[in-house]
Amino acid sequence: MSQRPWNSPAAQKSSVGSRPGAPASPSLGRDTWDASAPDRPLLVVEDLAKSFTLHLQGGVRLPVVSAVSFEVFPGECVALGGPSGAGKSSILKMVYGNYRIDAGSVRMADEDGVAEVAGAAPRRMLRLRRERVGYVSQFLRVIPRVGALDVVAAPLRAEGVNEEEAKARAAALLARLNLPERLWGLPPATFSGGEQQRVNVARGFIGAQPLLLLDEPTASLDAANRAVVIDLIHEKKAAGCGLLGIFHDAETREAVADRVVDVARFSA
Ligand SMILES: Nc1ncnc2c1ncn2[C@@H]1O[C@H](COP(=O)(O)OP(=O)(O)OP(=O)(O)O)[C@@H](O)[C@H]1O
């Protein structure tokens, strides 16, 4: 069998949707799924499908994925693998509620039990993002006139952390990611790609959500800062967080991923 780089034996500790050694059939039912139990998944993706309709191209329909099914458990990092265009980012965006889900289900542990992302009302989705699921997107969405330190501290303020502590924790994380202190008060719009990515990583990692989605969090980083992000991922895992990520860099993937879900299997 030919080996694709993202599918190498070292990287691909497993390409199945379920964690090896996980309970044979963790209950997926809304009523019986106890999301707080340690052997229960933080995220269950089941039969997910997505296609795009290109309205400016005469309504051409572009099927991307179908029947996507996998789980993420506490303390593990699951990588989405597959060639460019397979649908990895689209899956992350559906899990985060940025892309509409055409069919299937995305369930995550919630205070009330289990939350269904497909069809969730905007207010419910915003609460899930605040409390349950964080996201490091590929590119920073810059907010005009808001300085880097405040961009990073914002998720803590939303959690109710007081101003002083929020700023101190944001500063500590930016320092750890080697962002020069002279930049902390400036809006990141004019920052370099790697500087913006570090602000984005800090904003994503600072929160306490138990599930974290990572879209190429090290793509623009040098080796030293890549190593910091790898450490941050290990710390989240050790704290019982579940991570779902896309890592094009094979070294990073091998350093952090417990298993790889091959998205090419779900090509529509
Ligand atoms: N908003 C959109 N509108 C139309 N087509 C889209 C949209 N987002 C993604 N696509 C298409 O869906 C397919 C999957 O894209 P996606 O970005 O999910 O792939 P990927 O596996 O993450 O790729 P890469 O590894 O290159 O980032 C591509 O053909 C892309 O053109």
Question: Is 139 near ligand 1, meaning CB less than 6 Å away?
Answer: no
Which residue's alpha carbon is nearest to atom 8 within ligand 1? 90
266 CA distance to ligand 1 middle (Å): 14
Give the pLDDT of residue 109: 81
- pLDDT per residue over 51-60, tens digit each? 999 888 888 9
245 and 254 Cβ atoms separated by less than 8 Å = no
- pLDDT per residue over 170-202, tens digit each? 999 999 999 999 999 999 999 999 999 999 999
77 and 69 Cβ atoms separated by less than 8 Å = no
Q: State how far the alpha carbon of 266 is from the alpha carbons of 66, 91, 242, in Å.
A: 5, 11, 22
Question: Is 126 near ligand 1, meaning CB less than 6 Å away?
Answer: no
84 CA distance to ligand 1 middle (Å): 8
Question: Is 65 near ligand 1, meaning CB less than 6 Å away?
Answer: no
The top-scoring range by mean pLDDT among 6-15, 102-111, 235-244 is: 235-244
Q: Which atom of ligand 1 is nearest to the CA of 248?
A: 25
Question: Is 84 near ligand 1, meaning CB less than 6 Å away?
Answer: yes
Q: Which atom of ligand 1 is nearest to the CA of 91?
A: 18
Mode of pairing for the β-strands spanning 211-215 and 133-136: parallel
Whole-number Å distance between alpha carbons of 267 and 260: 16
Other C-beta atoms lying within 10 Å of the C-beta of residue 163: 10
Question: Is 52 near ligand 1, meaning CB less than 6 Å away?
Answer: yes
- pLDDT per residue over 120-175, tens digit each? 999 999 999 999 999 999 887 777 889 999 999 999 998 899 999 999 999 999 99
Mode of pairing for the β-strands spanning 242-246 and 77-81: parallel
Residue 78 predicted with pLDDT over 60: yes
Question: Is 85 near ligand 1, meaning CB less than 6 Å away?
Answer: yes
Q: State how far the alpha carbon of 216 is from the alpha carbons of 25, 86, 176, 222, 250, in Å.
A: 31, 15, 19, 13, 11
Residue 49 predicted with pLDDT over 60: yes
91 CA distance to ligand 1 middle (Å): 10
Fill in the amino acid letter for 59. G
For residue 267, what are its two tokens?
């090509």
Give the pLDDT of residue 183: 97
pTM: 0.88
Whole-number Å distance between alpha carbons of 222 and 251: 13
Name the residue of 52, 102, 249 whose CB sits within 8 Å of the most ligand 1 atoms, as the mutation to test its pocket: 52
